[in-house]
């Protein structure tokens, strides 16, 4: 059977992750802690994974994580804008509490995960539009790399879409899975079957993070 093995990995931590601020398409860099996470990930993948191809979202937080891993593996990094986080329009840069206070009706639509609703603001995507964009990008990359081990560096929202696609869950089903920073998620793609889930949220490389210097 012709298949593409996929590692789908969220970027390292940013200051806005800690603050609970929506990043969307805003280009927020990794924090020092996020860089430590990326370094630990790179060490683990260099020792354990036979990766052939690395592709990253073009947003800095994902691309820096990918470059750190690529440096350890001696591979180049290709960029794919289709792996970007969902665009949240005017929600970007705000916390949910701030959105709820300023735009309560929109906040409720977001909380209910209404598939056809999009936040106010230029470029904002509905869940349906976002899912279509992510599916199109990942399918194309998987089809181009049949028989290879493909590492995708991306964002929490993208990983949520991929998990739902691989498990047959709908856009409004409650999330019970983790989307941790630099967690390693394993998928398999075949031309006939699409995505299937192999393993999810492997954070073994972060288990002794307490040994890192973190002020």
Is 62 annotated in a binding site? The answer is: no
Is 61 annotated in a binding site? The answer is: yes
Is 15 annotated in a binding site? The answer is: yes
CB atoms within 10 A of CB 116: 10
Cα gap 70→42, rounded to integer Å: 8
Can you tell me whether residue 144 is helix, strand or coil? helix
Is 14 annotated in a binding site? The answer is: yes
Q: How far is CA 165 from CA 66, 170, 196, in A?
A: 23, 8, 8
Is 10 annotated in a binding site? The answer is: yes
Q: How far is CA 102 from CA 9, 91, 125, 135, in A?
A: 33, 10, 20, 32
Annotated active-site residue in 80, 85, 125, 155 = 85
Residue 85: active-site member: yes
Is 68 annotated in a binding site? The answer is: no
Residue 64: active-site member: no
Is 112 annotated in a binding site? The answer is: yes
Is 17 annotated in a binding site? The answer is: yes
Q: Which helix (H) or strand (E) holds 52?
A: none
| β-strand partners of 95 | 21
Is 214 annotated in a binding site? The answer is: no
Q: How far is CA 2 from CA 109, 141, 147, 166, 181, in A?
A: 41, 14, 6, 17, 30
Is 5 annotated in a binding site? The answer is: no
Enzyme catalytic residues: 11, 85
Residues belonging to the binding site are 10-17, 61, 111-112
Residues belonging to the binding site for substrate are 10-17, 61, 111-112
């Amino acid at each position: 059977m012709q298949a593409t093995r996929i590692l789908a990995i969220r970027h390292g931590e940013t200051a806005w992750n800690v603050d609970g601020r929506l990043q969307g398409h805003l280009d927020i860099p990794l924090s020092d802690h996020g860089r430590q996470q990326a370094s630990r990930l790179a060490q683990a993948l260099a020792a354990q994974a036979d990766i052939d191809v690395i592709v990253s979202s073009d947003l800095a937080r994902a691309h820096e994580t990918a470059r750190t891993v690529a440096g350890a593996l001696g591979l180049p990094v290709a960029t794919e804008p289709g792996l970007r986080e969902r665009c949240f329009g005017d929600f970007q840069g705000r916390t949910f509490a701030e959105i709820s206070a300023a735009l309560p009706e929109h906040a409720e639509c977001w909380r209910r995960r209404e598939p056809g609703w999009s936040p106010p603001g230029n470029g904002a995507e509905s869940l349906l539009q976002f899912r279509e964009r992510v599916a199109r990008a990942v399918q194309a990359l998987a089809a181009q790399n049949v028989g290879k081990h493909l590492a995708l560096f991306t964002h929490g929202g993208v990983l949520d879409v991929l998990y739902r696609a691989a498990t047959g869950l709908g856009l409004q089903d409650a999330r019970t899975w983790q989307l941790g920073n630099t967690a390693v998620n394993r998928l398999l793609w075949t031309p006939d079957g699409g995505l299937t889930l192999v393993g999810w949220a492997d954070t073994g490389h972060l288990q002794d993070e307490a040994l890192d210097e973190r002020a």
